[in-house]
A = this chain, B = another copy of it.
C-alpha cells in the first residue's frame, strides 16, 4: 500500500491515524460486537459517541454556553437556503459580502427568501482581495450579515473577523473551521460542511447563538429547523452516524496535535512555504493580494498554460494528486487543510522546483 499526497479541495485527505483507527474498529467498536455504522443512533454506545463529539468540538473551539451545536445533513449548500429561512423572522433583508464563488452561491440562494443585499464585493478584483471592511454598506435593518471566511476556488481568506455593526454575523467556515483560533462570541451563527477540516462528508455543523432560535419559517422541514433540532440533539431523524463518528476521531486527533492554536502555527508554516516557492519562481504565480491569501487553498497558474497537462501528469506520477484548479479559474490548486502533513507540502515544493528547472 502506498498512500499518495491528496490535495483535493474536499472531500480531502484525512489523518492516517484516523483511518487506521476506523479500519481497526470497523467490525467491532470497542467490544460492542458491532460496527459504529450498525448501531442504533438511540443506543447507549452511539449516544456516548455523540456526546463526546459535541464536547470535543466545544472544547476545541471554546464554544460558549449560550451557543447550541447542531450536526445536520444536506451540506453547507443546503444552509444557503435554510439560514435565511431560520433567521429572518419578521425581517425582509439580509446583508452578504461577496468574496468568491461560494459567497456568490449563498447570495443567489438567499434571494428566494429575502432581499439579499450585497454589502461589499471583490468581484472587480476578480476575487483576489477581501473588500476593505470600512467600506462595507451594512443595512442595520437586515436580519444578519453573511460572509464566507475562506473561498476554496479563489483562495482568499479573511485574516480577521469583520465588524458586523451589531448585526448577527453569520459565517460559512466550511473550508477553514478549526484551522485557526476564532472567538465564537463574535458570531451569531457559524456553519461548515465536514469534508475539509473535520472528516468525511455527511455532516453540517451549525453553531448558533440561543437568541437567534425560534424564528424559523413553517415551510422548513423539521429536520432543518434549528430550534427543533436543538430540542432533539440533532436526532429528529437518523443522522449520518458514521460521519459523526469519523468527525469525533478527527477531533481527538486534533486535540492530540495541540488543538487549533497548534494547527494554526502549522498552517502558517505550510502555506508560507508554498507561497514563498510560488513567489520566488518565474513559472508559477498566485494572483491573490498577500494579506488575503488563503492558508487552506493555494491556487497558482503556470506562465505557460500549455504546460498544465504535463505538470498534472508528472505530479500524479510523483504521488501528488488532485492538483488541478477549479475550471472557473484554471491552473492549479493545492488544498492543504489540517490533515495535510508538512511533508506533503515539502514534496510538492520540491516537485514544482524540479519541474520549473526542467521546463
A74 with B223: in contact, given A195-B238, A321-B33 (CB under 8 Å)?
yes
Which residues of chain A from 1 to 49 have any CB-CB distance to chain B below 8 Å in the complex? Answer: 1-4, 6, 8-14, 16, 19-20, 22-23, 26-28, 32-35, 37-41, 43
A230 in the interface (beta carbon within 8 A):
no
- Knowing A38-B11, A238-B195, A239-B201, say if A3 contacts B43 (CB, 8 Å): no
| Contact status B74-A8, CB under 8 Å | no
> How many copies of the polypeptide does the oligomer hold?
2
Name the contact of A37 in the complex, choosing from B34, B76, B201, B241 (C-beta under 8 A): B201
Please tell me if A265 contacts chain B, counting CB pairs below 8 Å.
Answer: no
Contacts of A28 in B (CB 8 A): 1-3
Residue of B nearest to A239 (CB): B201
Bound: A128/B131 CA distance, A:
63
Are B73 and A202 touching (Cβ within 8 A)?
Answer: yes
A92 proximity list for chain B (CB < 8 A):
none
- Give Cα distance in the complex from A357 to B76, angstroms: 55
Q: A38-B13, A221-B80 are in contact. Are A33 and B3 (CB under 8 A)?
A: yes
**One of B27, B75, B218, B222 near A19 (C-beta < 8 A):** B27
Q: Which chain B residue lies CB-closest to A26?
A: B23
The answer to the question of A314 belonging to the interface, with a C-beta cut-off of 8 Å to chain B, is no
Give, as a whole number of angstroms, the nearest-CB distance from A25 to chain B.
Answer: 9
Point out residues on A near B: beta carbons under 8 Å: 1-4, 6, 8-14, 16, 19-20, 22-23, 26-28, 32-35, 37-41, 43, 73-78, 80-82, 109, 112-113, 193, 195, 199-202, 218-224, 236-243, 246, 319, 321-322
